[in-house]
Structure 1
Amino acid sequence: MKKISLVAFLVVALATVFYACSKSDGGDDGPGTGQGFDKSAMLASYADNLIIPGYTALQQQLANLKTASDAFLAAPSEGTRATLKQAYTAAHLQYERVAAFQFGPAESALLDLFVNFSGGLDYNFNTSGELTGFSVDSNKIEQNITAGGYTFTNMVRSSFYSQGFPALNYLYFGPNAIDKLNADPVKRKQYINDVLARFKALVDKVAGDWPAYRAGFIANTKTDVGSPIGSMINQFAYQMDLLKGPRIGWPFGKQSNGIVFASKTEAYFAGISGALAVENITSLKKIYTNNGNGKGMSDYLVALGKQSLNTDVLAQFDLVIARLQAIPDPLSASLTGNAAAVEAAYKEIQKLLTLLKTDVPSATGVQITFMDNDGD
């Protein structure tokens, strides 16, 4: 598919551009209109049971991370860092649970760009140091610390990769992190605290905006441009593209003639890339089914007469989860040490991507509005 440039990617992130399309109600189980399905109740359930509580939980995990970070900065040691890693992991796992809600308040705040940038779907690993995929701009971070003056609002990759989880991952768990902290404690501690404060402000903004956004979210039951249902289905597809690309495929060498880029795995220095991938896909299934409460996208698909497709999607979710769980962490080591397990997971990811990016949108009349550059 056509390669998306950084400028185009940022435009998509700033304001998702949709194109209207006609609904298609035919399918493998015969035609269905979904007229008996309460889409407003489904959206209310998503808002009240998954989205708003998800961001509230992320706020709490960030508060826990700040407490653990303060203890580590006050007395840097392997012991305090071990406790810190638990808090960092909990916060990052919680972020994976809300990753598919990058619309509305999260899109307005550009949350994913500033706190967990994946490079989008713009692939170009010409060198291991290039800022693509799940990278960390350690040079920019060190320059910021040395200068003592910086801004986190610039719309450039070096800004995205020098704050949020990428920066914390490097500053807490990167090479000689404790020695570097002891060598320059004032400026380094200040930078860590500023990153945490910026992170908190962004999440607080999203969480604070959702209650007011909720009414419009629930009221719009269309599937056309920018609708809640359209946005959610686009996010199913987008998260699968990220799983196939930046999270698994690109580090595994699928776009680099088999050359592995282990350091491009998510949260590389913390060594929890596999756990994050499992949480990401597990949470995506939970969102697809709305936690199995009868008011999920899966139920909407059934109401549209797509029972067989829904069954296939659920089965493929389970296969992907099982294959990813079979890969030992750190994923960075398994890319070469357990390549067969990674390859098996990658193949199942491709199948689920096709279902969520092609079949489900077709069944629901939703247009997929973003582009990738490596095919499906």
Structure 2
Amino acid sequence: MRSFFLLLSFAILSVSCLFLSCNKDKKTGDNNNNTNGFDKTAMLTQYADQLIIPGYQKMQEQVSALQTASEAFISTPSATTQNELKTAFTAAYLQYQRVAAFQFGPAETALLDAYVNYSGGLDYNFNTDGELTGFSVDTATIEANISSGSYTLTEPTRKTFYAQGFPALGYLYFGDNAVTRLDSKRAAYIRSLTDRLKALTDKVSGDWNAYRSTFISNTQTNVGSPIGNLVNQLAYQMDILKGPRIGWPFGKQSNGVVFATKCEGYYAGISVALAVENLSSLRKLYTAGNSGKGLSDYLVALNQGTLNSDVLSQFDAAIGKLSAIPDPLSQSLTTQTAAVDAAYKEIQKLLTLLKTDVASATAVQITFMDNDGD
């Protein structure tokens, strides 16, 4: 009889634990697709089908247009073809900003960000003016490659990263005497860079068609998950904005010493336009294009409506202050210091919200490290 009651008690306890466990799962949604009625699969599908895949496809188109304009410039170097080239170059570079935060999956495998628009990461050293950090362009390596005609663009080294992609093309297209210096060797190097840019873009875009199912099927928030990657990339891009894009050239980590030539898009003079597009695209990522299926809506489902409102307001504040800086940024760093500093402070506030509060609310671990603080 005593054994019967022990077995009965164990059975009741087991059922109770199972009931409580099920209720917990239904409430938190930690191990399910739905969180408080919010469909995470629908969210990831929205990102894949409406932002990421179309974004890379559009970049393919813009890079093809850039190749066409580049060939026209090479064939007939003049101020006219150079101006037309700048339009195509700017369009392609702006489109890259719209996919910059999708550096996971196929893009991470291809090291797209490093080869196409290297920012140096979040480590830096300002001991010497010539240090290759931030959005530097390794003009010495570029000129050596052109002179020798022998080079590789596939080695995963800082020198290789800094001698190709949009920054290197900007130097070759719009640097001092770019029109008069254009000869057969420089033309050959330009073609190598545009071919490389096109091949990388095509690969990432094509690989996303196969990666899509993997992306939308994983609704967890652990390290390496799609949601984890999206939140991490939001924070990482904000760190790049605060550091290499604005703060480092402005002297925030170099005791006020300005590094104007380290501005993104320096030779084309479009640094602010690129930064504004990057930040605006991060806002679009956060809301999934105001579709009702974005990370912002996921926060609301997690009962974090106030935090979501704060983030949206801070996005708007940062975009507004950043847009108020005149291009070229390289000049505004010294002539519009109040405007640059105001934008920097709003960017810093937004970074803290995303990297700390949003990551915590979504149970996402930030996996990258910076060394300049928030």
Report the Cα offset of residue 129 of structure 1: 1.6
**Could you report, residue by residue, the CA deviation over 1:42-90 in whole angstroms, capped at 9, with x for unpaired residues?**
0001000000000000000001101111110011011110000000000
Report the Cα offset of residue 128 of structure 1: 2.2
Aligned position for 2:297: 299
Report percent identity of matched pairs.
68
Report the Cα offset of residue 258 of structure 1: 0.5
> Per the alignment, in what secondary structure is the counterpart of residue 236 of structure 1?
helix
Aligned position for 2:81: 80
> Per the alignment, in what secondary structure is the counterpart of residue 134 of structure 1?
coil
Which amino acid letter does the alignment assign opposite residue 221 of structure 2? T
1:340 aligns with 2:338: yes
Matched length: 344
Aligned position for 1:44: 45
Aligned position for 1:206: 204
Q: Distance in 2 between matches of 1:34 and 1:281?
A: 28
Report the Cα offset of residue 161 of structure 1: 0.5
Aligned position for 2:96: 95
> Per the alignment, in what secondary structure is the counterpart of residue 155 of structure 1?
coil
1:147 aligns with 2:145: no
**Could you report, residue by residue, the CA deviation over 1:277-305 in whole angstroms, capped at 9, with x for unpaired residues?**
00000000001000001000000000000
Aligned position for 2:114: 113
Report the Cα offset of residue 187 of structure 1: 1.1
Q: Distance in 2 between matches of 1:350 and 1:186?
A: 46
Q: Distance in 2 between matches of 1:62 and 1:216?
A: 27
Q: Distance in 2 between matches of 1:94 and 1:276?
A: 9
Report the Cα offset of residue 223 of structure 1: 0.1
Report the Cα offset of residue 127 of structure 1: 2.1
Aligned position for 1:329: 327
Report the Cα offset of residue 123 of structure 1: 1.2
1:240 aligns with 2:238: yes
Q: Distance in 2 between matches of 1:156 and 1:106?
A: 17
Which amino acid letter does the alignment assign opposite residue 190 of structure 1? A
Aligned position for 1:215: 213
Q: Distance in 2 between matches of 1:236 and 1:97?
A: 12
The answer to whether the 8 Å contact 2:246/2:344 transfers is yes
Over the aligned positions, Cα root-mean-square deviation in angstroms equals 1.2
Report the Cα offset of residue 243 of structure 1: 0.3
> Per the alignment, in what secondary structure is the counterpart of residue 292 of structure 1?
coil
Aligned position for 2:247: 249
Which amino acid letter does the alignment assign opposite residue 44 of structure 1? T
Q: Distance in 1 between matches of 2:52 and 2:335?
A: 37
Which amino acid letter does the alignment assign opposite residue 36 of structure 2? Q
**Could you report, residue by residue, the CA deviation over 1:80-138 in whole angstroms, capped at 9, with x for unpaired residues?**
10000000000000000000000000000000000100000011122222110000000
> Per the alignment, in what secondary structure is the counterpart of residue 101 of structure 1?
coil
Aligned position for 2:311: 313
**Could you report, residue by residue, the CA deviation over 1:282-340 in whole angstroms, capped at 9, with x for unpaired residues?**
00000100000100000000000000000000000000000000000001100010000
Q: Distance in 2 between matches of 1:50 and 1:36?
A: 23
Which amino acid letter does the alignment assign opposite residue 78 of structure 2? S
> Per the alignment, in what secondary structure is the counterpart of residue 246 of structure 2?
helix
Aligned position for 2:351: 353
After TM superposition, the runs of 4+ consecutive aligned structure 1 residues lying more than 4 A away are none
Q: Distance in 2 between matches of 1:84 and 1:96?
A: 18
- Quick one: higher RCO (CA 8 Å, sep 6+), 1 or 2? 1
Which amino acid letter does the alignment assign opposite residue 94 of structure 2? L
Mark the runs of 5 or more structure 2 residues left unpaired by the alignment: 1-24, 29-33
Q: Distance in 2 between matches of 1:216 and 1:105?
A: 11
**Could you report, residue by residue, the CA deviation over 1:224-259 in whole angstroms, capped at 9, with x for unpaired residues?**
021000000000000000000000000000001001
Q: Distance in 1 between matches of 2:61 and 2:128?
A: 38
Q: Distance in 2 between matches of 1:36 and 1:81?
A: 54
Q: Distance in 1 between matches of 2:197 and 2:71?
A: 15
> Per the alignment, in what secondary structure is the counterpart of residue 118 of structure 1?
coil
Q: Distance in 1 between matches of 2:313 and 2:35?
A: 22
Report the Cα offset of residue 35 of structure 1: 2.9
Q: Distance in 1 between matches of 2:366 and 2:360?
A: 9
Aligned position for 2:195: 197
Aligned position for 1:186: 184
Report the Cα offset of residue 166 of structure 1: 1.5
User: Which structure would you say has the larger Rg?
Assistant: 2
**Could you report, residue by residue, the CA deviation over 1:17-63 in whole angstroms, capped at 9, with x for unpaired residues?**
xxxxxx9x99xxxxxx9331000000001000000000000000001
Which amino acid letter does the alignment assign opposite residue 196 of structure 2? R
Q: Distance in 2 between matches of 1:68 and 1:51?
A: 26
Aligned position for 1:263: 261
Aligned position for 1:53: 54
1:137 aligns with 2:138: yes
Which amino acid letter does the alignment assign opposite residue 365 of structure 1? A
Report the Cα offset of residue 215 of structure 1: 0.4
Aligned position for 1:4: none
1:375 aligns with 2:373: yes
Q: Distance in 1 between matches of 2:353 and 2:131?
A: 32
Aligned position for 1:287: 285
